[in-house]
Amino acid sequence: MHKRSLTSRSLIATSAFALCGLLVASAHAQYQVLDHWKIGGTGGWDYLLADPGAHLLYVTHGPRVEIVDTNTGKPAGAITGMKGTHGIALNTDGKTGYISDGGSNNVLVFDRHDFHTITTIPTGTNPDGILFEPVTKTVWAFNGRSNDATVIDTATNKVVATIKLPGKSEFPAADGKGFIYDNIENVNSIVKLDANAKTLVGTWKLTDCESPSGLAIDQEHRKLFAVCDGKKMGIVDIDSGKQIASAAIGDGPDAAGFSGKYQLAFASAGDGNLSVVDTAHGYKTVQNVAVPKRARTMAYDAGTDRVYLVSATFGPTPAPTAEAPRPRPVAEPDTFNVIVVGRK
């Protein structure tokens, strides 16, 4: 009887171990390109943002923001009349959204039901990264050329503070507890801001992460993921402000994302790699998904476990001139598209 009981327990333990292995394998099933959604038109682009609850994807595209239905891949609308869009933020009220229009030094406030413009709010020079902070219900626009952040009260749509920063800001992240973090690209640092006091409360030097741009956050485990030059993702502990690890990613990254459900961090790079990092087991890079080159910006959709990137077909690089010593190739008209990455 005792021997049979031990055998049964062994079988149960073996089965449980096998099931655990299957779950881990499932969680790390291979991501792949699932689809391409054509947007077309002309002009450059910057960040994009998924709204899982509404099944929408917002894509900045030159002087406009394209809105795509993520169930169908078809256009759902557009917000126009801007000069040079960078980022999008969404209010938790489900009613309003915000766009950093770097070309006009404004934040545009829009209605999320019919996408009409509600108002525009002056900021510093070239607002770039933008987020909605849920504790204070404020919007923070990070101005890349004036090296400061504009804080907007969403109840009044008025500027309530301007906070000086130690350098050129990139993409921000919020911890949901009243603090905001932002990469400062030209000094290889991350700043910590108190949203209630509207003050800068810390500057953390990255140890081996040059020119940090995209930033993602694991709010539960209090970690930041900064993507940097040199094919590195720097992992920073929020409580200590210290960089605790690095992960290998693609070359020329610009954006990051995080999946709390699967404990994965993502980095999109200009060399044509979407890197996937396992944040639960030693920050190992578990996959590099081949995507089109220059697909450097991305959005993670937690509702579908999909990553959306954007790119286009490019013509040849022009010859250097005195006015443009480092010319870039020009995107061909009507080739702008969304790349859909997921797991089958």
Share above pLDDT 70 across residues of the chain, in percent, rounded to a whole number? 92
Taking residues 48-62, what's their average pLDDT? 97
Nearest-angstrom CA–CA distance, 109 and 65: 12
Q: pLDDT per residue over 88-108, tens digit each?
A: 999 999 999 999 999 999 999
Residue 324 in this model has a pLDDT that exceeds 60: yes
Class of 44-342 per CATH? mainly beta
Q: What are the strands of the beta sheet with 64-69, ordered from one edge? A: 45-51, 56-61, 64-69, 74-79
Rounded to the nearest integer, the mean pLDDT of the chain is: 92
Q: pLDDT confidence of 325, banded at 50, 70, 90?
A: confident
pLDDT of residue 281 exceeding 60: yes
Q: What is the pLDDT of residues 247-274, one digit of tens each?
A: 999 999 999 999 999 999 999 999 999 9
Note the pLDDT of residue 192.
98
Residue type, 59: V
**Whole-angstrom Cα Rg for the chain:** 21
Q: Which of 16-20, 224-228, 280-284 is predicted with the least confidence, judged by mean pLDDT?
A: 16-20
Q: Could you report the per-residue pLDDT of 149-169, keeping only the tens digit for each?
A: 999 999 999 999 999 999 999
Does the structure show a pLDDT above 80 at 6? no
pLDDT at 3 over 70: no
Asked whether the beta carbons of 309 and 301 are under 8 A apart, the reply is no
pLDDT at 20 over 50: no
Give CA–CA dist 121/253, Å, rounded.
30
Rounded CA separation 20/14 (Å): 10
Whether 14 shows a pLDDT value over 70: the answer reads no
Token representation of residue 229: 């030059």
Amino acid at 50: A
| DSSP-derived pairing of the beta strands 189-194 and 32-38 | unpaired
Residues 6+ positions from 224 with CB-CB distance below 8 Å: 173, 181, 190, 215, 216, 217, 218, 235, 236, 238
The pLDDT-based confidence of 280 (bands split at 50, 70, 90) is very high
